Structure 1
Amino acid sequence: MGVMNNRDNNKSTGTQSLTVGEVAEILGVTVRTLHHWDQIGLASPSERTWSDYRLYTATDLARLQRIAVYRELDMSLAEIAALLDDPDTDPVASLTAQKERILEKVSRLADLERGVDRMIEAHRSGVLLTTEQQREIFGDGWDPDWTRQAHEKWGHTAQWSEYAERGAHRTPEQWAALQGAMADLEGRLGAAVRDGVLPGSETADALVDEHREVLSNFFTLSVSMQVCLGRMYEASAGTGADFAEHYESVAPGLTAWLRQAIDARARALGVDPDAAEWG
């Protein structure tokens, strides 16, 4: 009866008291949140029924709405309490400081958005360079469509994701440095073939280790995966992804020599080339 009288009286003045559940629904917060704010003295209901049931007045609701707004601004409960109750707190100064924090956060989120956009584009295209930059870095023989073809073939793999995510943060200068390292390595691989270096020799092993290390700039490459790559290189002639043609242009016989050298190095490291798997 006390509840009915209390609520009915407020209805007559247009200020009907609200239960904690009704206020929670209006503000879009949980009942538990309202109980917490009550417990710490931030916002307590002004009325109680005879059975000690919480009832919020219109004045209570107005305070709660201000609290909810400040929470949307990421202000701490202590800051909100000071802003609402401390007479020495300058609301303008407090809100101005909060605005500055918000602007800093907006700037960070804008940077994050640009980073996500680069990641999306990197996953789609593989190389975030203009056609002119690609040809300048990779040479006139470079076909920008190769990255599209690679995405169609390997875009679903974890290695492509790793390659794309690393590439999204690589500058043109870093791409150029990496391409220079690849070209230098390939030149020494070609020289090894021409000089008759034997697969399994100390020199060949060092070159194979460096080959794996350089390619690991694109994605993590295990010894077993390197074996798979070596065999793919040798089998790639005429497939549209002609790694063999590229290596043969460096030095005739390099494709077979590299596969043999990789297999020999794998055996020395305890990996059976015939049982090697990707991943």
Structure 2
Amino acid sequence: MRVSGGLVYRVDPHATSGRTVSGMNDGYTVGTVAELAGVSVRTLHYYDQVGLAKPSSRNAAGYRLYTDADLVVLRRVVFYRELGLDLGDIADILANPDVTDEDHLRRQRELIEQRISRCHAMLTVIDQELAARAAGIALTPQQRRDVFGGDRLLEHVDDARREWGDTPEFVQRQQRTARYTEQDWMRLRTELATINQELAAAMARGLPATDPIAMDLAERLRQHTHHWFHDCDYETHRGLAEHYRVNRRSGRNYDDMAPGLSQYVHDAIIANCQRANPPDIDRMRNGSASQMRPPGAAGTGVSGQVSRLADGQQI
């Protein structure tokens, strides 16, 4: 917007043209004001017709000119219009004799702050939609709120995409979840929450992580990831257990359910992997399985992120 204050633009040396000379002004022509204000001549004529901003002077040739005082009024009209007020509201504001110049400026500043806030909110919505699309979550914003209970899901999606976006597991996860409906997400979220609650209950009962009940629950966790997100063999699941143990956010999410639960889940998964495939696990521990991914490899990290994405308690 180019109109400001008393509009002290020095753009032409000829006073008779309706422009300024050395600080003295005989007025501004409609064309000049349209250029400086960033509005059309037609708009200025309309503001004149409805009485919002009228040129109050004339030059020797009889052309109507805007004075500095007229430009102050026009500036207010243009500002308020730019901020979304309709012309009727603007007319009411300008007609109030008790409103000072400072009042207008304060009101305009408040309106600008409100617009900035709305723009930030719009940016947030756009970022959330981009994150959801990148994660393969084909739900409406309202459905995502219904399923995941807020926006924290998308924060974890961004983390996972930045860290593991090039891995086969992440690609497979995107391909699968892109087809999921709201009912699918509700089902998998409920399923995982149930498993985690049963793990917390087993720990509360004093069952060791090596108990068959705890190991069976760990196996259900593995099968859940394998079914809903991506292939999850015992090697990958063992890495997921390490993720729960060493990743502060994942561990905290489990421990928020029950103090010590992250370590318990880790131990139950390790015990289940040993039960299912002890020779491979022993070789991994001895560092002799050079063809196998080590704990914390790319696929492992995705598993940890995916588990947090699906679990309502952990997001």
Please report the TM-score for the alignment, with normalisation by the length of structure 1.
0.52
Alignment-derived partner of residue 72 in structure 1: none
Unaligned runs of 5+ in 1: 1-119
Alignment-derived partner of residue 151 in structure 1: 161
Q: Residues 141 and 124 of structure 1: is their aligned pair in 2 closer, same or farther, counting only changes over 3 Å?
A: closer
Report whether the alignment pairs 1:261 with 2:272.
no
Alignment-derived partner of residue 161 in structure 1: 171
Q: Give the deviation of 1:231 after TM superposition.
A: 0.5
Unaligned runs of 5+ in 2: 1-129, 300-315
Alignment-derived partner of residue 249 in structure 1: 256
Cα deviation 1:138-167 (Å, max 9, x = unaligned): 234734222122111111000011100001
Q: Kindly indicate whether the alpha-carbon contact (under 8 Å) linking 1:123 and 1:155 is maintained by their aligned counterparts in 2.
A: no
Alignment-derived partner of residue 230 in structure 1: 241
Cα deviation 1:104-159 (Å, max 9, x = unaligned): xxxxxxxxxxxxxxxx9977233222333223212347342221221111110000
Percentage of identical aligned residues: 24
Report whether the alignment pairs 1:172 with 2:182.
yes
Alignment-derived partner of residue 22 in structure 2: none
Report whether the alignment pairs 1:125 with 2:135.
yes
| Residues in 1 aligned to 2:204 and 2:256: alpha-carbon distance in whole angstroms | 13
Report whether the alignment pairs 1:210 with 2:220.
yes
| Residues in 1 aligned to 2:256 and 2:140: alpha-carbon distance in whole angstroms | 26
Cα deviation 1:54-77 (Å, max 9, x = unaligned): xxxxxxxxxxxxxxxxxxxxxxxx
Q: Kindly indicate whether the alpha-carbon contact (under 8 Å) linking 2:131 and 2:158 is maintained by their aligned counterparts in 1.
A: no
Q: Residues 144 and 185 of structure 1: is their aligned pair in 2 closer, same or farther, counting only changes over 3 Å?
A: same
| Residues in 1 aligned to 2:229 and 2:193: alpha-carbon distance in whole angstroms | 15
The structure with higher relative contact order (CA 8 Å, sep 6+) is 2
| Residues in 1 aligned to 2:272 and 2:186: alpha-carbon distance in whole angstroms | 29
Q: Give the deviation of 1:222 after TM superposition.
A: 0.6
Q: Give the deviation of 1:192 after TM superposition.
A: 1.1
Task: Name the Cα RMSD after superposition.
Answer: 2.2
| Residues in 1 aligned to 2:151 and 2:137: alpha-carbon distance in whole angstroms | 16
Report whether the alignment pairs 1:200 with 2:200.
no
Q: Kindly indicate whether the alpha-carbon contact (under 8 Å) linking 2:131 and 2:154 is maintained by their aligned counterparts in 1.
A: no
Q: Kindly indicate whether the alpha-carbon contact (under 8 Å) linking 1:200 and 1:264 is maintained by their aligned counterparts in 2.
A: yes
* Aligned counterparts, 1:11-30, within 5 A: none
Q: Give the deviation of 1:196 after TM superposition.
A: 1.2
